[in-house]
Structure 1
């Protein structure tokens, strides 16, 4: 019996922030994968090695975590005043689907660097030395991201001394600006889809919880750690080894998604694992990070833990960090209360791997809160480049 050979597709494996993924230029994809649809989804799943009932991604490029089962497609932008269009796919680990419902803030960093690496930038906009401003159109959510990428001798400067908790080695700093991060699109409607800073969220099997439901960076459901029997200082093993606790978080996430209007039935949440995120907050408290680093309460404004694709994240998703900073800037939200209340334009929070500082300034305009920009620093570098191979009949 004969079988079709493998095909090879030009690809680059990159780390961006505390995530990593497989990056493609749109023009390098197989022709039938250049448009959204089943062929593209099946191709990306085969690249990553999903669905994998063993949860290991042995036969693919994925790392069997939400931080490492990611794919990115970039192309020259078709929009005025933008350099590239950036499309992000979160590949499910054990189920056969790709979630296109949101962005990855960490890989947004690598998208800026990849735009230069891949020759997608107008040469006239690329300095020989200095900072290259890459104007990114985030196609999943229809938002603009500005990446300030260091350049040396006309190439991305990847090495440096910028340290990021959750990443082992230092690298060059890339500053990201998320413009108008609140969701004004058709799906969520506004930054606070319910119109409230805090909602009474009815969760089947759990009861009523106070929750802040916000669409900024990524739709996120915030709850108080104490209300669900936690401290806010938990590490991955404290949550991910407890199936009953994970099931409770998923129930809260589904209830939040319904209340935000992101889904119409609970069943829809099964194929929409990437959004909304679920996070729990607590006032600052000493703890020991996963690296063994001691985090003092005096060093942070609050503690935050967030789940991604059903598991506690090892650090913090970049888009969720935008949601944290935005909510912290608005007096009255659960995030703002955990940080001590009052007005603020930046917040430093503790997460399982350490701390992160994110800036966001909010102001009330015509009776609603508006955030024009959120800013944070990350880093990115190429891990491997060449071709990825997949069986020719897999998509």
Structure 2
């Protein structure tokens, strides 16, 4: 039987921070995929190679991890004073699902560079040498992010000496500023959806845990490592090889999501895999990172481990880093306590691959904590550009 040929779609494969994803211009997508819906989801799934019962994504661009099962759609911004609208899709590896509920902070770095590559930034705003400020509208969460992208000879500079733990090779530094990263609400309490910096979270089968539930960068649930029987120095194999542990973390995530008002029932968590994140914290102590490098206790303020899409992340998600920075700046949160307490506008934390420094500005106004911005550095570069090919008969166009 004759089969339809593959279709090809212009795309870039980019690394941003410690993640990788396939980037598209909205106008380059097949018409049916230019709008949200099943056709768009099916296209992106087929590009990445999902759903894959083998969990390998061999027949697609995905790398079989939460950090590499990602797609981005960019377009000229429809919002005043912005250059690009950036929409992020977290593609489930083994289930039939694309999660549009949150942002990817790591790929935000690449979105800033991609906006220049794709022609969304006016040429007169790009210097011959220096830094181009790209104003990004993050369409998933409706927030502004500013990417300061280095430029050489009017082109994005990708090579450099900036080192990022979790990425083997150095590259050019891109500074990200997350403007007003907390979600908004009528009662002004959205930074802490429960209204408290620490709650008692009752999780059946796990127990009652102290938890800081914060919505900055991405909804995140912080718990103490020791309350779960961990030290805070764990690497991926210690968690991801333990099916019972992963089930406990998923239970924490689901019940925390209900308490944060993100879902109404724990059963709904299965359709909201990308958010919230779960992270466990511990005071600073020396440990050996996944690279074999020793992280000294005096080089960090605390240790943090976070889960993404049901597995311990190999480094740290960019959006969760915003949550860490914000929580560290607010006295009384579990993150702040683990870091030693007190007022602070920056923190360096240890993660499985090494360390990261992040900063945030927070203030208490009329009894409500507010965060004005969070700042971190990442890097990005193009890995491949051209077209991705997908079977036409499996991809509605």
Please indicate the TM-score interval, normalised by the length of the shorter structure: over 0.9
Task: Tell me, in whole angstroms, the C-alpha distance in 1 between the residues paired with 2:118 and 2:72.
Answer: 13
Paired residues of 2:189 and 2:195 also in contact (CA < 8 A): no
Q: How does 1:168-317 map to 2 (within 5 A)?
A: 168-185=168-185, 190-317=190-317
Paired residues of 2:5 and 2:391 also in contact (CA < 8 A): yes
Task: Tell me, in whole angstroms, the C-alpha distance in 1 between the residues paired with 2:25 and 2:146.
Answer: 19
Q: How does 1:296-375 map to 2 (within 5 A)?
A: 296-375=296-375
Paired residues of 2:188 and 2:368 also in contact (CA < 8 A): no
Map Cα deviations across residues 266-297 of structure 1 (whole Å, 9 max, x no partner): 11111111000000000001100000110011
Task: Tell me, in whole angstroms, the C-alpha distance in 2 between the residues paired with 1:153 and 1:123.
Answer: 12
2:389 match: 389
- Secondary structure at the aligned position of 1:227 is classed as helix
Task: Tell me, in whole angstroms, the C-alpha distance in 2 between the residues paired with 1:127 and 1:4.
Answer: 46
1:41 match: 41
- 1:58 Cα shift? 0.3
Task: Tell me, in whole angstroms, the C-alpha distance in 1 between the residues paired with 2:24 and 2:139.
Answer: 15
Paired residues of 1:188 and 1:261 also in contact (CA < 8 A): no
2:50 match: 50
Task: Tell me, in whole angstroms, the C-alpha distance in 2 between the residues paired with 1:185 and 1:269.
Answer: 22
- Structure 1 runs not aligned, ≥5 long: none
- 1:82 Cα shift? 0.3
Paired residues of 1:328 and 1:339 also in contact (CA < 8 A): yes
Which aligned runs of 4 or more in structure 1 are off by greater than 6 angstroms? none
- Secondary structure at the aligned position of 1:115 is classed as helix
Paired residues of 2:189 and 2:368 also in contact (CA < 8 A): no
Map Cα deviations across residues 177-236 of structure 1 (whole Å, 9 max, x no partner): 000011115899610000000000010111111000000000000000000000000000
Q: Normalized against structure 2, the TM-score is what?
A: 0.98
Paired residues of 2:201 and 2:210 also in contact (CA < 8 A): yes
Task: Tell me, in whole angstroms, the C-alpha distance in 2 between the residues paired with 1:46 and 1:266.
Answer: 29
1:29 match: 29
Task: Tell me, in whole angstroms, the C-alpha distance in 1 between the residues paired with 2:173 and 2:243.
Answer: 37
Q: Residue 142 and residue 186 in structure 1: after superposition, are their counterparts in 2 closer, same or farther (change >3 A)?
A: farther
Task: Tell me, in whole angstroms, the C-alpha distance in 2 between the residues paired with 1:185 and 1:12.
Answer: 36
2:20 match: 20
- 1:9 Cα shift? 0.2
CA RMSD of aligned residues (A): 1.1
- Secondary structure at the aligned position of 2:61 is classed as coil
Task: Tell me, in whole angstroms, the C-alpha distance in 1 between the residues paired with 2:294 and 2:187.
Answer: 41
Task: Tell me, in whole angstroms, the C-alpha distance in 2 between the residues paired with 1:196 and 1:71.
Answer: 35
2:141 match: 141
- Secondary structure at the aligned position of 1:110 is classed as helix
Task: Tell me, in whole angstroms, the C-alpha distance in 2 between the residues paired with 1:288 and 1:153.
Answer: 41
Map Cα deviations across residues 82-140 of structure 1 (whole Å, 9 max, x no partner): 00000000000000110000000000000000001111111121112110000000000
2:379 match: 379
Map Cα deviations across residues 362-381 of structure 1 (whole Å, 9 max, x no partner): 11012101110100000000
Task: Tell me, in whole angstroms, the C-alpha distance in 2 between the residues paired with 1:97 and 1:186.
Answer: 31
- Secondary structure at the aligned position of 2:393 is classed as coil
- 1:392 Cα shift? 0.5
Task: Tell me, in whole angstroms, the C-alpha distance in 2 between the residues paired with 1:185 and 1:233.
Answer: 36
- Secondary structure at the aligned position of 1:359 is classed as strand
Paired residues of 1:187 and 1:262 also in contact (CA < 8 A): no
Q: Residue 129 and residue 113 in structure 1: after superposition, are their counterparts in 2 closer, same or farther (change >3 A)?
A: same
- 1:257 Cα shift? 0.2
